[in-house]
Chains A and B, each alone.
Chain A
Amino acid sequence: MMKKLIKILSRTSLHIVIVAIAVIWMVPTLGLLVTSFRLPQDVARTGWWTVFQTPFSFTQFALENYENVITKQGLGKTFLNSLFIAVPATIFPVLIASFAAYAFAWMGFPGRDYILMAVVALLVVPLQMTFIPILRIFNLLHLSGTFLGIWLAHTGYGMPLAIYLLHNFIAGLPADLLDAATIDGASPLQSFFRIVVPLSLPAIASLIIFQFLWVWNDLLVALIYLGGAPNVAPVTLKVANLVGSRGQDWELLTAAAFVSMVLPLIVFFSMQRYFVRGILAGSVKG
């Protein structure tokens, strides 16, 4: 009897602790979301939690803040810039790295293992080590402040991790399959597209999601290479600037932050499995 009571008590406290932690984790984001839909005069006057006193009076909510940040503050344009930066900056490195990973895994050439080790060792290089020389070259070539420049930079920075991850996966594919293809007369390029890519899709998908979100959420690389060019700025840069210039206008900041978060959140909820895998694999990047 006593034992059973202790068991029930400890189960209850376990649930309480877990639910409490989950709630604490959610509340900050919830506050952001609620505030972004409130009227500016309310945001400045009362806390966002007061909306729950009258949850069904819908007049306290409006899309005004979103309209304001997307059009007047120009966040819509920067959102498109972010897309225009992140899509090529994901495709280029993944494509190039998958060729390289295939070559490292299945083609014999002298010094292969040492070159691969050197590539992986480049993961230790903090991006800060590269900014000044590359920016100087970019300035000479008129690439700073351009989309092409930041695509190239992200391609370079994404390369070691992408090669490392894809090599691990591709090297694990069954050798018989590739041998059979070669015997049947498939060229290396054919076996790459017909066998290696389809079989590696789970790894490639995780990598694509990781790289896309990394570029989308990046601030530092954008500051360095696009910092002086507002017309090509991504959404993170714009939000960071708004924090500096409109630091007390919470209705604007919360709406702007949510606009910058909406795409990653969709990716998170729709492709959670690949998302988690990608994040776990990419945690040591840059």
Chain B
Amino acid sequence: MAPALLILLFFLIYPSIHTFYLSFLGRRSHEFVGLENYIYAFTSDSMVIAFRNNALWVVFFTALTVSMGLILAVLLDRVRYERIAKSLIFLPMAISMVGASVIWKFIYAYRPPGVPQIGLLNAIVDFFCGQPVGWLIEKPWNNFFIIIVGVWIWTGFCMVVFSASYKNISKELMESARIDGASEWQVFWRIVLPLMRPTIAMVATTMIVFVLKIFDLVYVMTNGNLDTEVIANRMYKMFQYPDFGKASTLAVILVILVIPMMLVNWRGVRTQRETR
């Protein structure tokens, strides 16, 4: 156990405290600059865009993964090929985000009009006689097309968690509601949804924690160019530049954003365990 604690001290506790301290120092950590890095973090143009995009990720990524995961969990429970369909949808979770980026960059590939399109999406547009679209170029829509890749990866995760929780709901309860004349729609809204609320909260916070730190997809697909920047990628750029003061500040901001979500998440996990 002693080695475990020493490793934690060296790799997580000490560096976090040190990074917090560095966030008040200058580029090369030689001089104290007060809140200058924080003022930069909240006012510079590139950071304002990064914050906006992280907000877009939090809202749309979370809403889409959670709602699609929930719908799929409920629908798939009704068919006999549930297992195979679930594996197919869960499969992207196995792939690295670098691999997923290549897969989707190819789907989004753009060629000028008149040349045969090799990207699937533009080929479909072409088929319907539209103009090819630069999916990863047009601002601000390019953000949504990167978010879709994240949704493609993580919907399977949400689906599997929801499916386990859905199967725990008593079938007699739903059946008796149906006999009393409730429509499928009412069963879903009045019985399934309220009973699954703790699970939904837990999954949603897990998604938010993950997405606040989103890095790989943006780094590989656009490297934050064309207004697709996010906080973690900005942090990496500052680290490379290098401006260790600003990079540390961005790391501190990430922690501050993540902590409240983690607390909600843990409370959810604990109440779930107690009710089981």
Contacts and interface: CB of A to CB of B under 8 A. Distances in A.
B258 to A, nearest CB: 6
A99 B4 contact: yes
Contacts of B90: 276
A104 to B, nearest CB: 7
Interface in A64-79: none
Contacts of B1: 99-100, 103-104
Contact of B123 (A22, A49, A257): A49
A163 B99 CA distance: 29
Interface of B is mostly: helix
Contacts of B219: 219, 240
Chain B interface size band reads 35 or more
B255 A129 contact: yes
Given A128-B232, A220-B236, A284-B209, A265 B259 contact: no
A46 B116 contact: yes
Contacts of A132: 15, 18-19, 22, 239, 244, 247-248, 251
Interface in A126-171: 126, 128-134, 152-153, 155-157, 159-160, 163
B99 A260 contact: yes
**Residue from A99, A253, A276 having most chain B Cβ neighbours under 10 A:** A276
B142 interface: no
B246 to A, nearest CB: 11
B239 to A, nearest CB: 7
Contact of A239 (B76, B102, B206, B235): B102
B89 A21 contact: yes
Nearest to B109: A250
B4 A100 contact: yes
Contacts of A223: 236
Interface in A231-286: 236, 239-240, 243-244, 250, 253-254, 256-258, 260-261, 264-265, 267-268, 272, 275-276, 279-280, 283-284, 286
Contacts of A156: 7-8, 10-12
Contacts of A224: 239
A19 to B, nearest CB: 8
Contact of B76 (A18, A236, A258): A18
Contact of B98 (A15, A152, A219): A219
Interface stretch (A24-32, A52-60, A176-184, A200-208): A24-32
B161 interface: yes
B14 A133 contact: yes
Contacts of A283: 157, 206, 210
Nearest to A272: B87
Contacts of B8: 119, 122, 156, 159-160
A239 B215 CA distance: 16
A218 B15 CA distance: 20
A244 B22 CA distance: 31
B99 A125 contact: no
A49 B20 CA distance: 52
Contacts of B152: 25, 28
B91 A29 contact: yes
B94 A133 contact: no
Interface in B195-236: 206, 209-210, 213, 215-216, 219-220, 223, 232, 235-236
A54 B276 CA distance: 55
**Residue from B104, B105, B106 having most chain A Cβ neighbours under 10 A:** B106
Interface string A110-134: 0000010001001111101111111
Contacts of A279: 93, 157
21 contacts: A25-B88, A26-B88, A29-B92, A47-B117, A47-B120, A99-B1, A100-B1, A133-B19, A217-B97, A219-B220, A239-B98, A239-B99, A240-B98, A240-B101, A243-B102, A260-B96, A264-B96, A268-B94, A272-B87, A283-B206, A284-B210
Given A44-B118, A284-B265, 17 more contacts: A46-B118, A96-B4, A99-B1, A119-B4, A126-B232, A128-B232, A129-B254, A130-B15, A132-B19, A134-B11, A160-B8, A239-B98, A243-B98, A253-B102, A257-B102, A264-B94, A267-B94
> Shortest 8 CB-CB distances between A and B: which pairs?
A156-B11, A217-B96, A100-B4, A257-B102, A130-B15, A133-B15, A268-B94, A128-B251
